Amino acid sequence: MQYLIRHPGRSFRVVLPALMFLIQATAACQNRVQINTDLAKDTISRNIYGHFSEHLGRCIYGGYYVGEGNTKIPNTRGIRNDVVDALRKLRIPNLRWPGGCFADTYHWKDGIGPGAKRPAIVNSWWGGVTEDNSFGTHEFLDLCEQLGAEPYITGNVGSGTVQDFAQWVQYTNSEGAGPMSALRKENGREKPWNVRFWGVGNEAWGCGGNMTAEYYANIYRTFATFIPASWKNGPLWRIASGAGSSDFHWTEVLMRDIPQGLIEGIALHHYAVDWNHKSSATGFTEAEYFETMRRALEMEDLVQRHAAIMDKYDPKKKIALVVDEWGGWYDVEPGTNPAFLYQQNTMRDAMIAGVTLNIFNNHCDRVRMANLAQTINVLQAVVLTEGERMIVTPTYHVMEMYTVHHDALLLPSSVRGGTYAVEGKSLPAVSVSASRDRSGATHISLVNIDPGHVQEVVIETRGAASSSVSGRILASGRLQDHNTFDDPSRVKPAEFAGARLDGTSLRVQLPPCSVVVLTLR
């Protein structure tokens, strides 16, 4: 594997082994990381690594679902086998569906029962296409079972009723002799699915109804009253439609006006995008990359400030912050439907994923669920499909590398040092998070967002000593590098040998534009 190292006036390529022996002057600046293993107390919930799949473009139809009668693409009850196999390697903890904006126009009873009797629906949000409703509640929950993921269903508040929402919960969870349980059994499912996560509408401030925070808080209270706080197999999560990025007033009102006994989570949506200039997914400039990363790193401030508001009303942190939409958003690929939001996925997206997941890990005391937008063929996808072919993206590889953090004990860390500068503006070059798994191994995820300089990192592991270190790296020669259907393995993880252990100190040479995950034992 080769890396492009740039210095003023010259550039050169080096292979990975040679890179590890570059002299210290190669690094733009030394970064110092302190990991406080003796201060660990919070667990990184695996649900931080959730995904989001909306009825949008080719995410559901042509992505997950090809239909039971399809003989060209191997499937199980219409769900693509290759997609399921790939996603199972990510150990997806939860999957959000059916939207997004689509959720507040979706009526779940249209998507149950015999396929021939299901009415068609016009997807007015995403391209005006007509869907036949062949993928509905049963198909989605079948998908979740195949993936080993918990379902996270967003209910229709914008154009639905309290009764419809309550009956959907009963349909999926009731074991008794009630009408919804009987209807489910009539449609071929004897046992309930026990769906735990329920979103009470989506983006109520926008496509979910253009509501004020005060109005939505009252609407939420009504809906949540008729959704039980627990079912036979445990408590449910009722997740309120939360703020868009920096709308701190929205969070304040929800925390102030919704009784704690009616709410288990508040959502937050934030995309790393300049809405006035999205840029090409693959043909972007370094200035555009810098702006994308600046907006991705805003997640740190957003989480801190929304969490501070929640702390004021909920000092015991009973209510979760659920970042159920995040990722990069660019111009669609040339020649594709603009409403389908299909974009390629490059090393820039790997950088977004790495730093964002580090932020979530480091704030796991409040962030206890998150959902990358979206899983297949839409926005920052981990999987792309084209007919019978399927590939995984750089973002996929980061998510797979970070599975070591699932349900691990957060080791608080701090970083100071190098910066990445463009046109007189600068950002922290290195991002980090660390955890200890149940076997006692320590895992450290490091990201160098600087595309032109090696970053030397010295890590002090306070409170513990290790005898061995191993690692994996995701890197490539250019920020714009990505996998294609003709070259599906251009960007993939490799073994990393650039870390040297000395007692409680670890010295690491981080290549430009790279994600590294180290394991200490």
C-alpha gyration radius of the chain: 23
Phi and psi torsions of 18, nearest 5°: -65, -35
What residue type is 215 in one-letter code? Y
Calculate the CA dihedral of residues 501, 502, 505, 511 and round it to 10 degrees: -40
Sequence-distant contacts of 107-113: CB under 8 A, at least 24 apart? 107/156, 107/160, 107/164, 108/136, 108/137, 108/156, 108/164, 108/168, 108/171, 109/164, 110/136, 111/135, 111/136, 111/137, 111/139, 112/136, 112/137, 112/138, 112/171, 112/183, 112/187, 113/187
Catalytic residue selected from 131, 139, 288, 325: 325
* DSSP E strands, 41-191: 50-52, 75-76, 79-80, 94-97, 121-123, 129-131, 150-155
Question: Is 203 a known active-site residue?
Answer: yes
3-class DSSP state of 399: helix
Question: Is 325 a known active-site residue?
Answer: yes
Measured at the alpha carbon of residue 184, what is the angle toward residues 233 and 62, in degrees to the nearest 5?
100
Place of tokens 């998510």: 399
Contacts of 444 (CB under 8 A, 6+ apart): 35, 432, 433, 434, 459, 506, 517, 518, 520
**What six digits make up the tokens of 325?**
């939409």
**What six digits make up the tokens of 290?**
């810098």
Number of H helices, E strands in the chain: 10, 31
What residue type is 354 in one-letter code? G
Name the nearest CA neighbour of 389 among 377, 380, 398.
377
CA dist., res. 340 & res. 346, Å (int): 19
Sequence-distant contacts of 37-40: CB under 8 A, at least 24 apart? 37/411, 37/436, 37/442, 37/461, 37/462, 37/463, 37/464, 38/462, 38/463, 38/464, 39/411, 39/412, 39/463, 40/409, 40/410, 40/411, 40/412, 40/436
User: Do residues 449 and 482 make contact, with C-beta atoms less than 8 angstroms apart?
Assistant: no
Measured at the alpha carbon of residue 361, what is the angle toward residues 357 and 365, in degrees to the nearest 5?
140
What's 134's DSSP letter?
Answer: -
CA dist., res. 323 & res. 42, Å (int): 18
User: Do residues 406 and 426 make contact, with C-beta atoms less than 8 angstroms apart?
Assistant: no
Catalytic residue selected from 131, 139, 150, 203: 203
Measured at the alpha carbon of residue 201, what is the angle toward residues 302 and 137, in degrees to the nearest 5?
120
Catalytic residues: 203, 325
